[in-house]
Structure 1
Amino acid sequence: MNTLSTQGHILIVEDEPRLAAVLGDYLTASGYTHCWVSNGLDAMTTFSAAKPDLVLLDLMLPGKGGMEVCREIRLDSQTPIIMITALVEEIDRLIGLETGADDYICKPFSPREVVARIAAVLRRHRYIPKEDRPDPLSINEESYEAMVHDKKLDLTPIEFNLLLFFYNAQGRVLSRDQVLAQIYPDHRVVTDRTVDTHVKNLRRKLAEAGASEDWIKSIYGVGYKMEYLP
């Protein structure tokens, strides 16, 4: 991790100079260092040279779009990425996250909110590596069994598949359509409420076993995301 700042080094990829300058001022005031690039074509070169702790990445960039830049970063790096977009339609936000982004924020926004989002994402990425921590959740795909703190979960087959799907996609936002396709591969017609009911039951059973309902978060207008800290 970059040691230029006690908070972190942020790469801003934004084609609006005024907005980039304001973001930079707020980052500096909050103890971060930063660098800026104004187009997608130069983004990867700057990323490789700067080795940032996090990337603020605009979706609409000259030369090369933000989603393409995000995919290129994800080819060999797990550096956190927050997408910035003026496209508020659900599909645009979802596609951005499916390319590997960790979060998104829509224009217009408060620079204070951006700094708060950066701090939250960096906190998640700065925990001790998972392999060095005991994992309270264990899943056995062969026996269709899952345990929390060594306590077996009494799950239905759908709930087990749902838990496994969330677990394997930790940190990613999953739309209800994606969840439906996973738990009902025969594409039967069911409502969004059906998905919500399965998630609610899974949360309850995790909580009864000593887990936290916060492991599975609802993302308003999009779907769900599993995010837990062993």
Structure 2
Amino acid sequence: MTQPGARVLIVDDDDGVRARLRSFLDLHGVAADGAADGESALRALREHRYDAVLLDVVMPGIDGLEVARRVRLDSDVPILMLTGRSAEADCVRGLELGADDYIAKPFRPRELLARVHAAIRRHRGASERLASGGLEADVETRTARLFDVPLVLSGIEFDLLVALLRHRPLVLSREALLQRAGRNAATVTGRNVDVHISRLRKALGDDPRSPRWIKTVHGEGYVMLSHDVVPD
């Protein structure tokens, strides 16, 4: 669904990528401006209001990660990082700095469009439902269900569940989970995350030794496993 009046900023040093994205977004009712480097992007964001930013990670001068860090100092505009498929560490770092999503290159234009619309809807406060197999979370009502059975979760457990569902299949570090769950690292430590993940697993009936939902990636963090088929 097209977001009415949506305007995005495309930040990429590849002229061809910017041109193709602008044409595709315009065709689907989304106005788009372009910036070829970090300095131009920061200037455009100071001078104009955007509903979302598509931000390439690797650029000359100020890279995308530094742009994201600076933007988050005084703006909550949705940021979607554009990364190479082998740059998962950049994805995680971007999320830790406050990016809302990531899209791996080469990407499918319709998937990118769907993610842009989803980010704008979230920012505008529209309802959002996330699901993987029989696990569902309604962000607006802050309720979760497992095969239609309501789950009893604390506030932070629900926020961690949403972060894992929203960013699957990306492995999220403890720091990225705290950032995406909207928690202050000064009050919730990385070890606290482990405790809350353990409680979330218990609510899901998940065995960490043979996980169906949340997998620990040692030395990196946690990932929500995807399920396309619901078991009988």
Question: TM-score, structure 2 length as denominator?
Answer: 0.62
**Helix, strand or coil at the partner of 1:88:** coil
The change in CA–CA distance for 1:136 and 1:9 in structure 2 (over 3 A counts) is closer
Structure 2 counterpart of 1:15: 13
| CA RMSD in angstroms, aligned pairs only | 3.9
CA contact (8 A) 1:27 1:33 kept: yes
The change in CA–CA distance for 1:184 and 1:52 in structure 2 (over 3 A counts) is closer
CA distance in 1, matches of 2:78, 2:54: 9
Alignment of 1:210-229 (within 5 A): 223=222
Deviations 1:26-81 (A, max 9, x none): 10011011110101121111112121110000001122010110011111111001
Structure 2 counterpart of 1:100: 98
Structure 2 counterpart of 1:166: 160
CA contact (8 A) 1:176 1:223 kept: yes
CA contact (8 A) 2:8 2:30 kept: yes
Percent sequence identity is: 32
CA contact (8 A) 2:157 2:199 kept: no
Deviations 1:192-216 (A, max 9, x none): xxx5x64333346xxxxxxxxxxxx
The answer to whether structure 1 residue 115 and structure 2 residue 109 are counterparts is: no
Structure 1 counterpart of 2:202: 201
Alignment of 1:66-85 (within 5 A): 66-85=64-83
CA distance in 2, matches of 1:220, 1:86: 24
Structure 2 counterpart of 1:45: 43
Structure 2 counterpart of 1:90: 88
CA distance in 2, matches of 1:72, 1:107: 24
CA distance in 1, matches of 2:201, 2:65: 32
One-letter identity of the residue aligned with 1:223 = Y
**Which protein is bigger by CA-based radius of gyration?**
1
The change in CA–CA distance for 1:114 and 1:220 in structure 2 (over 3 A counts) is farther
Alignment of 1:27-46 (within 5 A): 27-46=25-44
Structure 2 counterpart of 1:182: 192
The change in CA–CA distance for 1:219 and 1:75 in structure 2 (over 3 A counts) is farther
CA distance in 1, matches of 2:22, 2:62: 22
CA distance in 1, matches of 2:55, 2:72: 13
Structure 2 counterpart of 1:6: 4
Structure 2 counterpart of 1:214: none
**Helix, strand or coil at the partner of 2:39:** coil
Shift of 1:167: 8.5
The change in CA–CA distance for 1:172 and 1:37 in structure 2 (over 3 A counts) is same
The change in CA–CA distance for 1:114 and 1:137 in structure 2 (over 3 A counts) is closer
Question: TM-score, structure 1 length as denominator?
Answer: 0.63
Aligned residues: 178
The change in CA–CA distance for 1:219 and 1:70 in structure 2 (over 3 A counts) is farther
Gaps of 5+ in 1: 130-134, 139-150, 186-194, 205-216, 226-230
One-letter identity of the residue aligned with 2:202 = N
CA distance in 1, matches of 2:117, 2:32: 14
Deviations 1:121-165 (A, max 9, x none): 111112269xxxxx8559xxxxxxxxxxxx994x7xxxx596287
CA distance in 2, matches of 1:168, 1:136: 12
